[in-house]
Structure formats: structure tokens, C-alpha cells
Structure 1
Amino acid sequence: MSNRNLNQAACAAVLDSAHLGDIEGAMGTIRQHDIGARNSWGARLRTLAAILGPGLIVMIGDNDAGAFGTYTQAGQNYGTALLWTLLLLVPVLYVNQEMVLRLGAVTGVGHARLILERFGKFWGAFSVIDLFLLNGLTIVTEFIGINLALGYLGVPRLWGILVAAGIIIGAASTGSFRRFERFSLALCFFSLLLVPVFLAVHPPLGEIARGFVVPQFPAGSKLSDVMLLVIAIVGTTVAPWQLFFQQSYIIDKRITPRFIPYEKADLVIGIGIVVVGAMAMMAFTAAAFQGTAGFGRFTDAGAVAAGLEAVGGRAAGVMFALALLDASIIGAAAVSLSTAYAIGDVFAVRHSLHRKPADAWGFYLVYTGVIAVAAVLVLLGSDALLGLLTNAVQTLAGVLLPSATVFLLLLCNDKAVLGPWVNGRWLNLFTGAVIWVLVMLSIILTAATVFPGMSGESILAVLGGGTALGLLGFAALSAARRVRQPAAQPVEADLPAELPRMAWRMPPLSALPAPALSLGTRLWMGVLRGYLVLAVLLVAYKVVQVALGT
């Protein structure tokens, strides 16, 4: 690390001096002090190529083994009836991840550390423990996916899992950020194997279009089971680990506010690919099992590969298995990095892919450790235990997401943290609505667990009443904030209006004033946390019921 970077790290908010320097992307380099204008399309495309990575990896990494299981379960059990959930999640995906990328580029500090510093040790520890436990279970599901894919392909379980674990560990342990990103983008490219599977099975396009635009619940299905799956779709598409991963990865890539527009484009491309992939899985699985004895009897992604083979030939089954293997590897790498970044943030130890393992041994120890433990659990665990973990992870992610989004929203309205980059009114309105919808979904799941015979009319009553209550609460909160809001500070007349915003970075954490959290906000956060603990317990109970078939 050069003396210049060490001096900059001393006066900046970044926790690791390796987070300062040139942007060394998989497909290009941008010098640290490059402030040249990008006026031509060629220059813009070269800049985008260098920036490309965080949005693609976090989105495509989200179409992991758990997502394969969730989306194909939706297709095999309910046809294309739940495709509409994907369309509704597109704006949620963009808004959540746009706030995260803005936090990363402007602050230079990871999500876990910001929560710890701005909300105290209790909330910081609670969030990191949530993340650590959920990520640990998620990585186990990635190795379950690897195991299922290898089983279909006829590769021995022991050697296949050991080799896969070695590849995942080795890819991040070279001390080169660029090498890891090239490895990850190669995996992103191979995720396109789902396209030829879709073409081989050729599901009816009219049915797909109808499933997207006509919200419906599958007729004759048990309501609580459908709601469990809907929340699992939410949990696998908008997972808490994504927030922690993308913020830290953007920091590690050294992306600054100047390149936020390019990172937004990267994110949009990733969202497009992930939605197309999810749609393809639901659609070709529905087409493969429609009218067969397997329809409505989902077991696992390995059985889906066999079902696809019966319809589209051996090549379709093999391509699906390879896509599952690819998704599981990129998912395991991204989720493990999310954990290692968060631990490095909280304990302020070196945590960068730019560093060699000997120079950041704690960071690489966490990364390697969670992968090794997950691989061993899959090698030694019974099928019943692994099936239970697979069912639990995505649903728990959906239940825990509201709390993660609450902290994200609070941080993006903290002027000491984001300065001129804080959220606008309409973004706060939308994000608040998203949080409230997620809370209502959790409430509906809880009610359906306690009252399995809950009717559709009751669900509509909960949604209607909850929506009305949310609107009233938001109106009251907005009115109170307008009363307290100080007058806006004028922009200096001798500077262009956009220059201060593009140049603004968060000061060192020690220089920030303490956050002003009202008593109402603290009470609301406490109630939400208490509710989530109860909801997690009830969901775990429901998942066990589903897994045991009782």
C-alpha cells in the first residue's frame, strides 16, 4: 500500500486502506484520480465495462441453489400462477440495492459497521448475529445444490463437494480483486444455460404472459402453504445478505460517487438477468410437470432435472444441473464474502480481496471457515435434515428482511452519513410502503400458521386494514417531520450545483454527530424486533410441519 493511500485512509471513513486506489475491474481499470469527462459513447462503455460487477454478481448470485429450489417448486406445484410475484419484486430489488450502492460509494464503510456506529452495540450485534446465522444456513443450501447437481451428473459426492469447496475458497484467496471478479463474471455468463433449457422445453408463451400480468392464487391449494412459498420467493429474491454484500463489495472495488450512474446501470442489467432466469425456471418446470404424476409433488432440484430430461431430452437435464452447480458456487462465494466483510467491518480488521491471505488472515479465515463447515455438514447430514434446512432458509430470509430494510432506510435518511445523497421524499414513501408490505406478509404467514383454515377474504381484510393503518401512520410521521425539518442550507454560488454532491464523501466515523432517534422510532424498532423473533419461531414450526408432511 502506497504512502498516499495510507495518508488518505487516515483522514477518510474507510476502515481498510486497501479500499483506496485504482478501480481494478474484471474488464478495465480506472485510475484513482481520473476525473476526465466521458463525453463519447466509447468512453462511457469502457467506463461501464470497468465498473461492471457488483450489481451483476449480487443479483445473479441471488439466483442460487435456494432460488432454484424455490422457483422450481413454484412451477412444479402451482404452474405459472405465481409468476406475478417476480414482476412486483423488480422495483423492490432496484430500490433496495440502489440505496445500498449509494451508501457504499458515499461512505466507504460497510453496512454492518454503519449499523453498529449509528444505532449502538445492541442493534449492531443483533443484525450481525442475524446475518451470520442466516448466511451460515444459506451456504449449507448452496452445498446441497452442489450435491444435487453432482448427483444428477453422476459425480461422486465426496470428491465433488471437496473440489467445489476448494474452487470457491481458491477463487477469493489469490490476493487479486480482479481475478475474483473475472471468476465471478464467468459464472454469471454460464448462468445463461437456463436459456437453452427454456428453448428445449418451450413452455407456452401465452400462459407465461398471463401468469405475469394476472395476480392469482392457485385454486384448490392450501392457503398457508402458498403464503409460505410466496414469502420464500420474496426471501430468495430480496435476501438480507445482498445488502451487506453489495455495499462492502462496492467499497472493496473502490467505486466512488462519481461512478454511481454506471453502477446503477450494472444493477439494472443484473436485475434483468435474475428476473428472466427466475421466470424461465418457473415456466419450464411448470411445462415439464403439467399433466404428470409429479405435478404438485415437488421434492428437490435434482428431481426437476430428471423431469426436464423426460420432456426436453438428456441435454436439457444436464444443462439445468450445470446451471444449478454454477449458481450454487457463485452463491456460496457471494454469501461467504458477505459474512467475512461484515465480521471485518464490526471488528475493524483488514477485509479486502486486494490483500493476500497472510495480510488479512482474519477475513480469509471467516470466509474459508463458513465454506468448510457447510461442506462438512452436507457430507455428513441426513437427507431429512438437509431438506429441512433448504425449506427454512428462504422463508426465514423473507421474515427477517423487514428489519434489514428498516436500518437501510434509516441510514439513507441520516444526513451525517449521506449528506447531499440522502433519500428524497418519494423514495422514502416507496421504501416505507415496501417495509410495511413485508411486515404484512409476515403477519399473514403468522396468522395462517396459527389458523390453517384462514380464508382468502380474511387475507384481503388483513391487507386492506394493514394498508389503511400504514397510510395513516406514514401521514402522521410525515407531518411531524415537516414540523421539525430545518431550513435547507444554500449552495455556494461560486460552485456548480452538482460538483459538491459528486465530491462529497462521509467524514470519519469518529467525526459524525450522534444520530437523533426519536423515542417513537426506538419503540417502533423494538416492537418490530420482538415481532420478528416471534414470527421466526412460528415460521420454523410451520416449515417443520411442511417438511414432515403433517
Structure 2
Amino acid sequence: MTSLLRRVRSIALFEQLGPGLVTGAADDDPSGIATYSQTGARFGYGLLWTLLLTYPLMSAIQLVSGEIGRVTGKGLARNMGEVIPSGAVTGLVVLLFAANTVNIGADLAAMGAAARLLAGGGAHLFTIGFAVVSLLLQMFVPYKRYVRFLKWLTLVLFAYVAVVLVVKLDWGQVARGLFLPDLKLLGSKEAITTIVAVFGTTISPYLFFWQTAQEVEEVDHDDQARPLTEAPEQAKREMRRIRMDTFVGMAVSNLIALAIMIATAATLHAAGKTEIATAADAAKALEPAAGRFAFLLFTLGIVGTGLLSIPVLAGSAAYAVGESRGWTCGLDNKPWEAVGFYAVIGAATLLGVGLDLMKIDPIQALFLSAVINGVIAVPMMVVMMLVASRRDQMGRFVAGPALKLFGWLATAVMAIAAAAMFVAMA
């Protein structure tokens, strides 16, 4: 009986989920919440189609990330170093570190602003407090231990789904927004920049490095696991796990993103509130479902996703820098066991706090970080697809035709959107 229960548990869905689910949850970070809220408030249902487009594309590129890590047993930066010159890898790592630092600063500022909604006082003090808590957790508590609890906090984001169910929607407009892009919007510089931001916060470079690194750690911490190039007999089970994990994680991420965009379109945009300047403005989208608890749910959502995503942001930068330099990496190591790795985490977090002290508007900073991610993702995706297609690195597990198609399509879509933005700004 015991063996039967163990077998049932081993094939249960929950047991199949890991790095992909955490990656999907971290994708709906404060930057994502702000970007989707801004999009719904500003353009109503007009840009819903972007999320219909991003699901297969983000799933494909995250599948590529996960498979690279599990097949080679090496992180993304090390794999990139086998395809392009070390100087180019360093350049990409510097871009990632800069983008992640801006994102961390924006996330921390948003967390501080959200906390002030409930408790009053100075937002900067809350921001510094969250930075210290996050840094201490990363340094002294294994991420996998406390992420189990933080994932529950992200469930408050389903309050946006409740808003969609409560408010009266014009489902005809929703359907048009999902399936019929408004060509007039595509001629707007503001709309194009917003599209890049949506793509950038959904298909984010730090998530590529994170999921690859987490698959590598799965191998390192399991005595029976080895890179698939060395143990091809493990491939069937592991590839199935990665696919299920990624598709479910990305589906959860996109479902929440779609709910946020529809909720803000149906509430803020419909009421003529097309600009979100503060955290309080964004929180008002929850009032139809949460009433006087809107600020509480919004704060819990921002703080929960922030505490979940900041280690992913700082950690992905540290993995990238550490792997490119040959350092010991991993959040399961103690600070004195991986000094350089944790130094990068500390630097990214402290620089993020410094950005907050410059009094940059948190909502605008979150949107800006999404735009930056949308631009720098392009060269990283190109190199990733080259890695996934090389037999020298992937052996018999090179990306299949469908994965190559959607991976390169995702790269092309991101490149076209970024190029269109620069043309529109010229």
C-alpha cells in the first residue's frame, strides 16, 4: 500500500512541477503587474492579443532554456561561451546585470509604495526593509525552502480573475481585443512601446538564465541525475517533466496577466482613468471584487511576487556572471562557499535600492524595466537558439523542428517589436 501511494504521488501533477512553475510565478512580478495594468488602463482591450501571442512563444523559449540546462548540465552563460566570443558573452552578461538591477530597483520601490498604502509612513524605509529581508533570505535560507511559502502569496493575484468574473464585461470587445489586433494602434508610438514592454515583461532575459540554472541545480543535487548527454536513458522522463512544468508555469503566468489586463480595462479604462501614476491607482482595479480590501490584496500581491522575483532577478545575474567567470554558483551554497556569486547578488540588490533613493517614480520605472528587457532579450534569444541547435553541445537532444520554429519565431517577433519601437521614436 505504501509503495502504491508513493507511486501515485510520483506521477501527480504537483510532483512534476518545479523550475518552470516558479519561473512562471516570478514572471508576474511587480514589473509585470504594473505593465499589464498600464496596458489595460491605457488601451482598454486593444492589446489583449499580445498575451495570446506570447503564450506559445514564451513557452518555447523557456523550454529551450530548460532543455539546455538539463541536457548539458551547464548554465546558459557557459553554453553561450561555446558559441560566441568571450567578449560578446561578457557584453550580454553586463546588459543582463544592468537590466536586472533596474528591475530590482523598480520592484523594491513598488513594494515600498504598496506597503505605504496600508501602513503609511515613508515608502523608502519599506523599500530598504524589503531589500534587507530579501538579501538575508537569499544568503542564509535555501531558496527552495522559502519559495514554498512565497508561492502561496502569489495566489492573491487570482483576485484579478475574480474582478473579471464580477464586473460586467462586453465579451464582444474582449474577443475582438484577443483575436483582431487594432491596426490603428499599431501606428501609435505609445502603443508600440507598450507592446515591447508587454513582450519584455513576459519573455524576460532573466527568466532564461534562471530556468537553465535551476535545471542544472536539479542535476547537481540529485545523486542519480546526470546531464542527458551522459545519461540518455533519463531523457524520456526528464523531457516530459520539463514540458509539463513549463507549459503549466507559463499558462498560469499568462492567465494572470490576461486577467490583470482585462480587469484594468473594465474598471480603470472604462472609468476614464487611462494613466496609472501611483500604486493606489493600480490597486483601484481590484475594488469591484475586493472592496475595502483592495489595497490589502494589491499590497500582498506586490510584496509576495516581489519577494519571489527579486531572488530570481539577482540570482540570474549572479549565475550569468559566475558561470562566465568559472565561479562556484548556487543559492544552496553558503555565502562563504560562493563569495563572488553572493557578491553579485548583494551588488544588484544594493544598486536597486540606490535607484529607489533617486526618487524615480516606481510605476514608470517598472514599465521602463519591461521595455529594456524587451530590447536586450533579442540578442540573448539568438544565441540560445544557436546553442539549442548545435550537436556539439546538445548531442542527440538538439531542439526538434517544432521547438526551433517557435523559438526562432519568438526571437523574430521580439526583434520586430524592438525595431518598430526605435523607428517610431526616431
TM over 0.5: yes
SS of equivalent residue, structure 1 residue 75: helix
- What letter matches 1:287 in structure 2? A
> Structure 2 regions of 5+ residues with no counterpart?
220-224, 229-233
The 10-residue stretch of structure 1 (228-237 or 368-377) with the greater mean CA deviation from structure 2: 368-377
Residues 1:290 and 1:352: Cα distance change in structure 2 (over 3 Å): closer
Displacement after TM superposition at 1:149 (Å): 1.0
Alignment-derived partner of residue 91 in structure 1: 56
> Structure 1 CA distance, aligned partners of 2:296 and 2:363?
22
State the Cα deviation string for residues 380-414 of structure 1 (Å, max 9, x = none): 22245x56533422112112222111001100011
Choose from 16, 20, 29 the match for 1:55.
Answer: 20
State the Cα deviation string for residues 437-474 of structure 1 (Å, max 9, x = none): 32222222222112xxxxxxxxxxxxxxxxxxxxxxxx
> Structure 2 CA distance, aligned partners of 1:37 and 1:311?
43
State the Cα deviation string for residues 233-273 of structure 1 (Å, max 9, x = none): 11111011111111011112326543231122111111111
Choose from 144, 159, 163 the match for 2:129.
Answer: 163
**Aligned residue runs from structure 1 range 168-247, under 5 A:** 168-174=134-140, 176-201=142-167, 203-217=169-183, 223-247=188-212
Q: Are 1:382 and 2:359 counterparts?
A: yes
Q: Is the 1:110–1:247 Cα contact (8 Å) retained in structure 2?
A: yes
State the Cα deviation string for residues 210-253 of structure 1 (Å, max 9, x = none): 3222222566x971111110111111110111111110111123
Alignment-derived partner of residue 400 in structure 2: 424
The 10-residue stretch of structure 1 (179-188 or 240-249) with the greater mean CA deviation from structure 2: 179-188
Q: Is the 1:172–1:180 Cα contact (8 Å) retained in structure 2?
A: no
Q: Is the 1:81–1:218 Cα contact (8 Å) retained in structure 2?
A: no
Q: Are 1:118 and 2:96 counterparts?
A: no
Choose from 257, 262, 272 the match for 1:278.
Answer: 257
- Which runs of at least 4 in structure 1 moved beyond 6 Å after TM superposition? 36-39
Alignment-derived partner of residue 222 in structure 2: none
Alignment-derived partner of residue 44 in structure 1: 11
**Aligned residue runs from structure 1 range 4-15, under 5 A:** none
Alignment-derived partner of residue 392 in structure 1: 368
Displacement after TM superposition at 1:159 (Å): 3.8
**Aligned residue runs from structure 1 range 280-359, under 5 A:** 280-294=259-273, 296-306=274-284, 308-309=286-287, 313-359=291-337
State the Cα deviation string for residues 263-298 of structure 1 (Å, max 9, x = none): 22111111111111111111111111244342x233
Q: Is the 2:76–2:320 Cα contact (8 Å) retained in structure 1?
A: yes
Alignment-derived partner of residue 245 in structure 2: 266
Name the % identity: 25
TM-score, scaled to structure 1: 0.69
Residues 1:308 and 1:42: Cα distance change in structure 2 (over 3 Å): closer
SS of equivalent residue, structure 1 residue 279: helix
- What letter matches 1:306 in structure 2? K
- What letter matches 2:251 in structure 1? G
Q: Are 1:449 and 2:416 counterparts?
A: no
Which is bigger in relative contact order (C-alpha 8 A, separation at least 6)?
A: 2
- What letter matches 1:395 in structure 2? V
Displacement after TM superposition at 1:164 (Å): 1.6
Displacement after TM superposition at 1:63 (Å): 1.0
Residues 1:179 and 1:387: Cα distance change in structure 2 (over 3 Å): closer
Q: Is the 1:412–1:423 Cα contact (8 Å) retained in structure 2?
A: yes
SS of equivalent residue, structure 1 residue 313: helix
> Structure 2 CA distance, aligned partners of 1:179 and 1:308?
31
Residues 1:177 and 1:222: Cα distance change in structure 2 (over 3 Å): closer
SS of equivalent residue, structure 2 residue 27: coil
Q: Are 1:248 and 2:213 counterparts?
A: yes
Residues 1:70 and 1:353: Cα distance change in structure 2 (over 3 Å): same
Alignment-derived partner of residue 18 in structure 1: none
Q: Is the 2:147–2:308 Cα contact (8 Å) retained in structure 1?
A: no
Q: Is the 1:137–1:393 Cα contact (8 Å) retained in structure 2?
A: yes
SS of equivalent residue, structure 1 residue 118: coil
In proportion to residue count, which structure has more helix?
Answer: 2
The 10-residue stretch of structure 1 (208-217 or 411-420) with the greater mean CA deviation from structure 2: 208-217
> Structure 1 CA distance, aligned partners of 2:150 and 2:291?
29
SS of equivalent residue, structure 1 residue 117: coil
Q: Are 1:435 and 2:411 counterparts?
A: yes
Q: Is the 1:90–1:271 Cα contact (8 Å) retained in structure 2?
A: yes
Alignment root-mean-square deviation, CA: 2.7
Q: Is the 2:30–2:305 Cα contact (8 Å) retained in structure 1?
A: yes
State the Cα deviation string for residues 421-441 of structure 1 (Å, max 9, x = none): 002234323333332232222
Q: Are 1:411 and 2:411 counterparts?
A: no
> Structure 1 regions of 5+ residues with no counterpart?
1-35, 451-550
SS of equivalent residue, structure 1 residue 81: coil
**Aligned residue runs from structure 1 range 479-498, under 5 A:** none
Residues 1:44 and 1:279: Cα distance change in structure 2 (over 3 Å): same
> Structure 1 CA distance, aligned partners of 2:215 and 2:398?
18
> Structure 2 CA distance, aligned partners of 1:150 and 1:190?
15
Q: Is the 1:38–1:44 Cα contact (8 Å) retained in structure 2?
A: no
Q: Is the 1:65–1:144 Cα contact (8 Å) retained in structure 2?
A: no
- What letter matches 2:114 in structure 1? A
Residues 1:184 and 1:410: Cα distance change in structure 2 (over 3 Å): farther
The 10-residue stretch of structure 1 (410-419 or 305-314) with the greater mean CA deviation from structure 2: 305-314
Residues 1:311 and 1:395: Cα distance change in structure 2 (over 3 Å): same
- What letter matches 1:280 in structure 2? A
**Aligned residue runs from structure 1 range 468-487, under 5 A:** none
> Structure 2 CA distance, aligned partners of 1:444 and 1:409?
22
Residues 1:400 and 1:109: Cα distance change in structure 2 (over 3 Å): same
Residues 1:245 and 1:59: Cα distance change in structure 2 (over 3 Å): same
Q: Is the 1:350–1:360 Cα contact (8 Å) retained in structure 2?
A: yes
- What letter matches 2:145 in structure 1? R
> Structure 2 CA distance, aligned partners of 1:38 and 1:99?
33
> Structure 1 CA distance, aligned partners of 2:280 and 2:218?
36
Q: Is the 1:65–1:145 Cα contact (8 Å) retained in structure 2?
A: yes
